[in-house]
Amino acid sequence: MGTQDYEDIRYEVEGPAAVITINRPHRYNAFRGRTVEELIKAFRAAWADRQVQAVILTGEGDKAFCTGGDVKQRAETGDYGPTESGMFEIGYLHKLIRDIPKPVIAAVNGIAVGGGHVLHVLCDVTIASETARFGQAGPRVGSFDAGFGTAYLARVVGEKKAREIWFWCRQYDAAEAERMGLVNLVVPPGELLDTAKAWAAEVAEKSPTAIRFCKQSFNADTDHQAGLSNLAMSALDLFTASPESAEGAAAFAEKRKPDFNSKVNWH
């Protein structure tokens, strides 16, 4: 699949780095089904390309890295839109980011919330613009990620902070994200991509096989969370069909405060 075949992303190879850019700035780089499908194809292309030694994942523009699933699309159609496979394969994308035997660098250029926050957490390292903001939004819009997005996040920032991030849906600036270990480095906005490319060039000088074994060793400690992720995705499919979840999506689209309590079945 060449660059011209993508609609929702851009895929470019520059030296040893594959740069994957989510290109939906009109929706704050939120992903629909097609976006996820194209991201999967791009990561697989980077995996197969012997020239590529590292992958950089970023978002178009300066406002958003990724704001997760396209809630407006879900409110309009009840799903995340059509795909070639007929499936919404966000779980497979999560696994692919972990499994590709090359370092994945998140270059967070703006807001990284919801499913977009999960994507950056799953990347091997994160470099953030000073203007970046991080947080979760699932419980605010009738969604959740009870797999890697919660359990693995707790490994990154600790149990107490991970619970705060999910239960209160606050946003954190880049400096605070760096202090909690959520990002590796904070740079001025104009230096973000150049810094990510420099990191890619530096790791490209290392032994690819050694890097591959290191990444697989790091992943081995948390690979059991893939089972939790599969359960969570199945649960989310059921939850998104519920009145409670529908209320979250509708309230987001209508820019009003959701009334979850009247939709909850407490029995």
Instruction: Cite the annotated binding site for substrate by residue number.
Output: 80, 111-115, 143, 255
Name the nearest CA neighbour of 97 among 114, 115, 117, 121. Answer: 121
Name the nearest CA neighbour of 205 among 11, 12, 15, 57. Answer: 15
Residue position matching structure tokens 């590709």: 100
DSSP string for 68-86: SB-HHHHHHHSSS---SSS
Name the nearest CA neighbour of 237 among 66, 78, 121. Answer: 78
Binding residues: 80, 111-115, 143, 255
| Helix (H), strand (E) at residue 93 | helix 90-99
Question: What does each C-alpha distance from 128 to 70, 154, 196, 212 come to in angstroms?
Answer: 23, 20, 9, 24
Query: Helices 115-122 and 90-99, interaxial angle, to 10°?
Result: 20
CB 239 within 8 A of CB 245: yes
Residues 6+ apart with CB under 8 A from 72: 27, 30, 252, 253
